[in-house]
Structures are given as structure tokens and as C-alpha cells.
Copies of this chain bind each other. A is one copy, B any other.
């Protein structure tokens, strides 16, 4: 038994494993569904593009028909916009993402907030908060919580001006807890010296927990994440902190690694299960 504050004792139960679709990007959505059923994985987290390829209604029937739960839909966001027209299009798209989440039977829409459009980071952060404010009432009406996911600071130029759990929480705390929360992806936040402190004030606000690992060296800024256990993130320690913040829901395995995408799908699913038990 560990005496570290928040350290989790023992492995997370396999029932908590949710397979984020991008982990197994070599598979279509139907293949992911069939593969999870074969492997005894009961929860998945689809992305919008592969859902659109199948069609929303067909995807929803497929997932429900296989008896799978959906932990979240990835993703809404990308709020900073060049002008009103672009802003309206982004808002429309974000409302569609809410509709899709509801149709797929999940109550969590992950928000990747979008990069700054120029050099004005403060403005991008203001526009993100305003965008969430416009979206939140619509999401609440549809029973979908918005999960602000801070991304690693190396992804700021392409994906998100929100790069720390602290600023994600600062935005989330302006709303009701059942409307807006945060998604804690260990890969994006593990380096943060304020992580323990920020998770301590995240009580009731964590709506998702994602795991993968930080490889040394990291081969690529986007597609260089490691399978759990292959890197240097103290995943069990972070899980303990997340659980101490009151989160006991699904744990999404979201490994974005171009080398792993070359494996046969069933082999990668088996590795995911094994490492979930050993390292999470």
C-alpha cells in the first residue's frame, strides 16, 4: 500500500477500460465495435469522422446493438475564429457535435479548444471562454456535459490555447458542475508541477480520464504517444489523484502512435488490455 497522497492501490478494474477509437486507427468503427466485443471491452470512445463515415444513426444502432457503452465523443471546440462567419460555422458545428454525442448515448463531449489565430494568446483564451458560454446552454438542454481538455503545451500552435488543467478549471468553474467539467488526459498534464494542487480543486468536475504514456525520446509531436508502461508517466499515481477528485468513471486509452497502427488490430487490443491491467 502506497503512502503517496492520492496514489491508487492496485490496478484499475478492466470494466473501467474504454477504448478510444484513435488508439486503433487502423480499424473502421464497425471493426472497433466487433473487436471490443471479441476482447470483452465494454466501452468505447468514438471520434466524429469515423462515425460520419458509417452515418450517425447506423453508428448509434451498431454500438448499442453490440451492448457497448460510450464514454465520450471526440470532439467539439476550435473556438477562436477569424470573423463572424467563421464563428457561426464553428458554433453550428459544435451544436451538431452535441447532437451526435446525445445520439450515440454519451453525456460527455470532449472540447479541444483550438489554437490562437495569431500572436494574441490572451484573446484566443477569451474567445474560447466565450465560445463555451454560447455552447453550454444548448449542451445542457441535450443532457451533454462539456469536457474542457487541456492539451500539452507543444500542441498550442495547432490544437489548443488551453494548455493547463488550471486554466481549464478556471473556465469550467464559471458554470454548473453538471454543464461543464474537465477531461484529464495524463499525457497532456503529467508534467505540470501544479497538477496535484489543481486536481485537489477539481472535485466533481472531472468528466473524463485518458491514459497513454510519454516516450523518451518522443518521436513526434502528435503521433508519438506511448502505450501505457512504455514511458515515464506515473499513471497509477495520477489515477489516484483523479479518483480523489471524485472521478470513478471510464478510463479511456487514447494512444496516438503511428507505429502501433501498423499492428494487426486484435494484437493491439490485447496489448491495450494487458497494459491497462499492468500500468493503470
Known A119-B234, A233-B119; contact A221-B157, beta-carbon cutoff 8 A: no
A156 to chain B, nearest CB (A): 5
Q: For A218, what are the chain B residues with a Cβ–Cβ distance below 8 Å?
A: 154, 157, 221
Q: For A115, what are the chain B residues with a Cβ–Cβ distance below 8 Å?
A: 216
Q: For A156, what are the chain B residues with a Cβ–Cβ distance below 8 Å?
A: 191, 214
A83-91, A159-167, A250-258 - interface stretch: A159-167
Most interface-central of A116, A166, A221, A233 (chain B CB within 10 A): A221
Q: In A195-226, which residues have CB < 8 Å from any B CB?
A: 214-218, 221
Contact of A193 among B158, B167, B193 (CB under 8 A): B167
Q: How far is the CA of A125 from the CA of B195 in the complex (A)?
A: 14
**Chain A binding surface, main DSSP class:** loop
Task: Flag if A157 contacts B214 (CB, 8 Å).
Answer: yes
What are 6 sample pairs from A and B whose C-beta atoms fall under 8 A apart?
A119-B232, A157-B231, A163-B192, A163-B193, A164-B194, A167-B193
Q: How far is the CA of A191 from the CA of B191 in the complex (A)?
A: 14
Q: How many copies altogether?
A: 2
Binding site for B on A (CB under 8 A): 115-116, 118-121, 125, 152-154, 156-158, 163-164, 166-167, 190-194, 214-218, 221, 231-234, 237
A114 to chain B, nearest CB (A): 13
